[in-house]
């Protein structure tokens, strides 16, 4: 009985601590200002017939999109939509990927072509509602961690749809490195340009970080064996 009462008190204390922590997190998130830049359209509660759930879809449009109704644009689909544009919705409060700010800057400097960026994959809807270039070479897919894996998988499986893939900090370890075996089993190299990168501190410990780096390099080397050639960014990027 004493053990039971002691356990109950500990459980109540733990619950109180966890509740306080969650309340603090919610408060911090609620206090984060919105950091949206440029013309971003929001499609709330977009229903997925495959997953049978609702998710928001965010669409970044280049400047002057509405001024020329005949012009079409390449499009980049990115997973982790809540992290892309807005510090108020990002997983780490206040730390968004700054995709909108970066696109604005690079387009203005003439370093990249004007493009549409979509957070959360919904290609048929986007193609029917926005003036996208629908060929594969004008359609990219990207994400980080598991989003990086699914971006690579989808681009390799549907290279007629996605001609470019951004594979950022991929979770190569997932499913016992199934993505590596999938690349090895490809009957031929699809016509896909791939950006692959990894940081040097990807993990809770230095050993985990080193393992993540080794896994990413294993994936890189496997792609190269299939016919891709290495880029010039610390040997961590792969391009066609």
What is the structure's pLDDT at 5?
46
In whole angstroms, what is the distance from residue 104 CA to residue 208 CA?
Answer: 35
What is the structure's pLDDT at 54?
85
Quick one: which H or E segment has residue 201? none
Angle between helices 174-184 and 146-157 (to 10 degrees): 20
What is the structure's pLDDT at 235?
47
What is the structure's pLDDT at 221?
95
What is the structure's pLDDT at 75?
95
- Give me 31's structure tokens: 């206090």
What is the structure's pLDDT at 15?
40
CATH topology classification for 35-239: Rossmann fold (3.40.50)
What is the structure's pLDDT at 240?
57
| Residue 169 burial (C-beta neighbours within 10 Å; 0-12, 13-18, 19+) | middle
What b-and-e string marks burial along 139-162, b requiring 16 or more CB atoms within 10 Å of the CB? bbbbbbeebbbbbbbbbbebeeeb
Instruction: Enumerate residue ranges in the chain where pLDDT < 70.
Output: 1-31, 120-122, 232-240
Mapped onto helix, strand or coil, the DSSP state of residue 94 is coil
Residues 223-238: tens digit of each pLDDT: 999 999 987 655 455 5
Q: Are 170 and 219 in contact (CB under 8 A)?
A: yes
């Amino acid at each position: 009985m004493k053990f039971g009462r002691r356990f109950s008190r500990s459980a109540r204390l733990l619950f109180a601590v966890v509740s306080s922590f969650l309340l603090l997190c919610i408060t911090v998130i609620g206090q984060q200002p919105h950091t949206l830049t440029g013309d971003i359209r929001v499609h709330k509660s977009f229903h997925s017939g495959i997953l049978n759930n609702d998710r928001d879809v965010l669409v970044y449009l280049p400047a002057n999109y509405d001024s020329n109704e005949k012009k079409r644009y390449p499009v980049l689909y990115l997973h982790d939509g809540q992290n892309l544009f807005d510090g108020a919705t990002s997983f780490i409060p206040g730390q968004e990927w700054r995709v909108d700010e970066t696109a604005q800057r690079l387009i203005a400097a003439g370093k990249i072509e004007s493009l549409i960026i979509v957070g959360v994959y919904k290609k048929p809807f986007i193609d029917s509602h926005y003036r996208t270039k629908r060929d594969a070479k004008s359609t990219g897919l990207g994400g980080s961690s598991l989003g990086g894996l699914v971006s690579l998988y989808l681009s390799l499986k549907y290279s007629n749809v996605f001609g470019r893939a951004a594979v950022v900090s991929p979770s190569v370890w997932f499913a016992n490195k199934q993505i590596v075996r999938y690349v090895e089993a490809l009957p031929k190299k699809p016509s896909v340009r791939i950006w692959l990168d990894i940081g040097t501190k990807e993990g809770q410990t230095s050993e985990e970080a080193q393992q993540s780096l080794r896994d990413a390099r294993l994936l890189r080397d496997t792609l190269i064996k299939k016919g891709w050639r290495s880029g010039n960014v610390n040997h961590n990027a792969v391009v066609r």
